[in-house]
Amino acid sequence: MPLVTIGIPVYNEERFLEKTILAAINQTFSDLEIVISDNASTDGSAEIIKKYQRIDNRIKPILKATNEGPGANFSTLVAHTKSKYFVLLGAHDIFLPDYIEKAVTFLESNPDYVMAYPHSNFIDADDNHTGCCDSDIDTSGLDVSRRMKKVAEDLSWCTCVHGVFRSEVVRKIPNMKIRGGDQLMLFAAAYYGHLRFLDGLGILRREWRGDASEVIEQRRIQLGMYEETGSRLFDAYAVMSMEHLRFLFNKTTLSLYKKILLSISLLPIFKRGHGTRASSIVFAYLNRQKSVSY
């Protein structure tokens, strides 16, 4: 059994998919498998996956007949992970060759850490670097409450979700079809252990279309990454904030006193970051769909 699984979720990614697969194949750490789940692409993505499966037997393709949405595709990758570590690689992104080796070396020597992630940059369609997309959510030296608060307060770019995780933790953290689902995942991961910000560049995140933020958001909604609420009483950010608190109260074993103290400290963070008021969080909780679960 390999030590690491690189999971690549795919939907219509033929333009950059070969570069992404090659970045996985060419890691200096070789004790890995590459699970690629194609979500019923309508372009040439599946053929590219089959081509590289013939080249490298570490590639394990999953070719779906129907599109199940991004959240379900991520769950498919996790379900097919038997290794000790799991790392998510976006199908148009690139890992630098020594990233996984550095992360695994650290995690093997530091059992209190559940995830390690590197510095990251944005790149365009021609692989030109266009800026930094780092967030310092290193939790070294912090207790569990301060770890979770630091993630909620200091997370500005969610590239950290492409860190190398202990697989047992990935199976415990919520995977929800909400705006900010990746923020919730990292918040939850900090409950289970420390997060480490590694030295050196390791991830190139491709933002290549140059679209306005509104266009990007609409595309994400169309892909089923999350749904807007359509309510005047609460918005999608209130839903995200509510799910942070629901995880805290329902899924952690912190004392009630610590849960209350942490939730009080999170409320101003939610308000500063997204303008979310406590009242809208309450409405989001009262109106949340019963089908949404951990």
Which of 162, 161, 36, 30 lies closest to 101, judged by CA?
30
Do 53 and 144 lie in one domain? The reply is yes
Do 165 and 49 lie in one domain? The reply is yes
Residue 209 is predicted with a pLDDT of 60
Do 59 and 140 lie in one domain? The reply is yes
Collapsing DSSP states into helix, strand and coil, what is residue 159? Answer: helix
Which of 237, 288, 245, 239 lies closest to 266, judged by CA?
245
- Report the alpha-carbon distance of residue 228 to residue 150 in Å, rounded: 27
Do 105 and 23 lie in one domain? The reply is yes
Percentage of residues of the chain with pLDDT beyond 90: 85
Residue 215 within any structural domain of the chain: no
What's 162's DSSP letter?
G
Q: pLDDT grade, residue 202 (50/70/90)?
A: very high
DSSP string, 218-287: HHHHHTTS------SS--HHHHHHHHHHHHHHHH----HHHHHHHHHHHHHHHHHHH---HHHHHHHHHH
Which of 199, 197, 201, 200 lies closest to 186, judged by CA?
197
Residue 213 within any structural domain of the chain: no
Residue 170 is predicted with a pLDDT of 97
Residue 224 within any structural domain of the chain: no
- Report the alpha-carbon distance of residue 266 to residue 62 in Å, rounded: 39
Do 36 and 154 lie in one domain? The reply is yes
Residue 47 is predicted with a pLDDT of 98
Residue 294 is predicted with a pLDDT of 42
Which of 290, 271, 272 lies closest to 281, judged by CA?
271
Side-chain half-sphere CA neighbours of 289 within 13 A: 11
* Domain final position from 206, 237, 266: 206
- Report the alpha-carbon distance of residue 6 to residue 93 in Å, rounded: 13
Overall domain count for the chain: 2
Do 138 and 271 lie in one domain? The reply is no
Name the amino acid, one letter, at 120: S
Residue 214 within any structural domain of the chain: no
Q: Provide long-range contacts, Cβ within 8 A and 24+ apart, for 285-293.
A: 285/242, 285/245, 285/246, 287/229, 287/231, 287/233, 287/234, 288/239, 288/242, 292/176, 292/177, 292/178
pLDDT at 215 over 70: no
For residue 103, the surrounding DSSP H or E stretch is: helix 99-109
What is the number of other CB atoms lying within 10 angstroms of the CB of residue 33?
21
What's 266's DSSP letter?
H
- Report the alpha-carbon distance of residue 181 to residue 281 in Å, rounded: 16
Mean pLDDT of 141-169: 97
Q: Could you list the residue range(s) of the whole structural domain that residue 118 is in?
A: 4-206
pTM for the model stands at 0.93
CATH number at residue 93: 3.90.550.10
Residue-wise pLDDT tens digits, 114-143: 999 999 999 999 999 999 999 999 999 999
Residue 255 within any structural domain of the chain: yes
Residue 292 within any structural domain of the chain: no
Q: Which of 104-113, 139-148, 202-211 bottoms out in mean pLDDT, i.e. has the lowest? A: 202-211
Please list, in sequence order, all residues whose beta carbon lies within 8 angstroms of the beta carbon of residue 253, skipping any fewer than 6 positions away.
none
For residue 226, the surrounding DSSP H or E stretch is: none
Mean pLDDT of 26-48: 97
User: What is the token pair recorded at 103?
Assistant: 């992360």
Residue-wise pLDDT tens digits, 219-233: 666 666 666 676 889
Mean pLDDT of 52-57: 97
Do 44 and 177 lie in one domain? The reply is yes
Do 123 and 235 lie in one domain? The reply is no
